[in-house]
Amino acid sequence: MPHFDLPLADLATYLPARREPADFDRFWADTLTAARAAPLDVETAPHATVLPLVDSRHLWFSGFDGDRIHALLIAPSPAVVPGPVPMVVQFLGYGDGTGSPLDWLALPAAGFATLVVDTRGQGARARRAGATGDAAGSASPHVEGFLTRGILDPADYYYRRVFTDAVRAVEAAASLDFVDPSRIAVAGASQGGGIALAAAALADGVAAAVVNVPFLCHMQRAVEITARAPYAELLAFVRTHRADADRALATLDYFDGVNMAARSEVPALFSVALMDDVCPPSTVYAAYNHYAGTKELEVYTYNEHEGGGVAQDELTIAWLRERFATT
């Protein structure tokens, strides 16, 4: 895939006007207040593993509307790394599942605990299937997938539930007795990057954010310049529901990473791939350039949506260790 988006010099200064609803902050304050009315009710259970140097557990907590959300908790054994330890709350790419502890050993090997959070209703496409359904129904029609589910009403929109789950996941992580609550990061790539960006903006107690090739950013532009999935779902909706297109796009403004970025002030590490036609570079730069906190951006000139891969993972660990002063 050759470069298809704006030239790099233009991307560096790309700062589109934010499509921000007047009641954005009230919408999210009310949403989170309602979610917190249910007890967080964190539960854990042993996770069978052949890895003697890590502690692996299933973890459940109450997310949106009290729905029980599953996550996979992996931490270095206390005999290897005495607590309290820093924590990275990890959000997943579109359709991905939590998988096995074997998939998530890099951070525990570097001295971090990690909480890998199911995305409700997802987990049937990659790794092992997720263990969390989406109990809420949606009144409006939606294209197969998740991006258009409930899209005609912000209160009914799928990502309202997902972003609320993410905030509650940070709260669940902070409640663990072996975790240092002053050293909690959120991280993810693609959809996970978009969720991490929302968690950094909405959750209390986040100290750092890693936002790799994020999805759900500058979505109005995304649907105009790429036909790749998952944005293809949104394109199909506005193409077939033409009379509702403006209403659908207005719903997305409550969830757009550009608006979330303007509300997060924690240190952040972003990455972008200039040949990425799944999450186009200009959509990433729009969020990055609006980001309110201190920030760094790693640019992968010749990569597509895979981004920096292992190189970015190594950079992330080094960046987090510096922020959290781990040895």
- Catalytic positions are 190, 276, 305
Q: Go through the chain and tell me how many residues it has.
A: 327
First to last CA, the chain: 40
Give, in order, the Cα–Cα distances in Å from 218 to each of 2, 5, 134, 223, 287.
Answer: 21, 14, 25, 9, 7
